[in-house]
């Protein structure tokens, strides 16, 4: 199979992209709410554990049909595409606000492209490079204008950068090594396999049980994180894997350029102030995404 003739995005793929933007753009504010009660590793573990519980029926039905030779790659996809990034994002957000986390997250397509070129011999055009550079420039501008001045160059942002590198590897694995498999099969099995890890950590190694009983806000925070797990992780991953299958790795990962816009809007709702520079940066990002994905 040639990787050169990729499918052009159609109306359905754009609709999926917008839906994913809204869901994932809202995930940072949910992490923020969870961190008010739970520790960063607990937030990540609750997110993955609830996602994995939701995936049980899907995973069990697909496991019966799956060619077992794909299992190691699917487990790897679960680790680098969901499990480890969940912890990296939670730790990052203990020190940087959710809007900035969403902005740094938009480096993902850059790593998707770099890994695609280095390991998968992806071809690249000047237009794609120009679009990516423009979107990255918009992202840097957005970080520069971030209202939280003291955290502007906080090294905790590097946790998010690490997560985007893992996402970059994962997107390429999904597209080039697992593209023959059903998107629901990949996402359900990969998340399902992470459940026991997250559950063991949460219940055996942390004070989660005590917090649930003693903290009045613990149940509400648990609801926020369960929504994050079920909608923001499980359902979103199924949609994302479907999008990768339908389009190109670059198009599907460009969702991360649009996510900061939603993250910033939630910041506004949460009482953060935006300057004219924020809006300008967002326009630059959208134009970059558009150029990178043109025929």
Contact 109, 135 (CB under 8 A): yes
Q: What is the mean pLDDT of the chain?
A: 86
Domain annotation covers residue 63: yes
Contact 112, 249 (CB under 8 A): yes
What pTM, to 2 d.p., does this model score? 0.85
Distance CA 154, CA 95 (A): 8
The 10 Å CB-count burial string (b at 16+, else e) for 256-267 is: bbbbbbbbbbbb
Residue numbers of the domain that contains 171: 11-292
CB neighbours of 270 closer than 8 A, spacing ≥ 6?
29
- Binned at pLDDT 50, 70 and 90, residue 121 comes out as confident
Domain annotation covers residue 246: yes
pLDDT digits (tens, 9 = 90+) for 210-246: 999 999 999 999 999 999 999 999 999 889 888 888 8
pLDDT digits (tens, 9 = 90+) for 3-48: 444 567 789 999 999 999 999 999 999 999 999 999 999 999 999 9
**Could you give the number of structural domains in the chain?**
1
Choice among 46-55, 77-86, 112-121, 286-295 with the minimum mean pLDDT: 286-295
pLDDT greater than 50 at residue 2: no
Domain annotation covers residue 157: yes
Choice among 68-77, 91-100, 210-219 with the minimum mean pLDDT: 91-100
Domain annotation covers residue 6: no
Q: Quick one: which of 224, 220, 210, 182 has its CA closest to 50?
A: 224
């Amino acid at each position: 199979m040639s990787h050169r003739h990729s499918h052009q995005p159609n109306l359905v793929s754009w609709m999926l992209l917008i839906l994913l933007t809204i869901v994932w753009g809202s995930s940072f504010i949910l992490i923020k709410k969870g961190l008010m009660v739970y520790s960063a590793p607990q937030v990540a573990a609750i997110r993955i554990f609830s996602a994995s519980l939701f995936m049980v029926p899907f995973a069990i039905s697909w496991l019966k049909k799956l060619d077992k030779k794909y299992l190691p790659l699917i487990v790897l996809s679960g680790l680098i595409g969901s499990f480890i990034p969940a912890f990296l994002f939670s730790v990052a957000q203990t020190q940087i606000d959710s809007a900035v986390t969403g902005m740094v997250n938009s480096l993902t397509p850059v790593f998707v492209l770099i890994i695609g070129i280095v390991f998968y011999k992806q071809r690249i055009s000047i237009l794609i490079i120009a679009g990516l550079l423009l979107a990255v420039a918009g992202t840097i501008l957005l970080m520069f204008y971030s209202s939280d001045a003291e955290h502007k160059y906080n090294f905790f942002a590097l946790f998010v950068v690490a997560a985007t590198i893992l996402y970059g590897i994962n997107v390429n694995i999904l597209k080039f090594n697992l593209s023959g498999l059903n998107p629901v099969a990949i996402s359900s099995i990969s998340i399902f396999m992470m459940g026991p890890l997250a559950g063991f950590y949460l219940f055996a190694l942390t004070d989660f049980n005590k917090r649930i009983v003693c903290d009045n806000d613990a149940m509400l925070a648990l609801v926020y994180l369960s929504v994050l797990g079920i909608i923001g992780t499980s359902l979103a991953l199924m949609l994302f894997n479907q999008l990768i299958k339908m389009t190109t790795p670059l198009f599907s990962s460009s969702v991360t350029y649009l996510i900061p816009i939603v993250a910033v809007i939630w910041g506004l709702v949460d009482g953060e102030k935006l300057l004219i520079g924020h809006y300008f940066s967002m326009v630059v990002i959208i134009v970059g995404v558009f150029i990178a994905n043109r025929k």
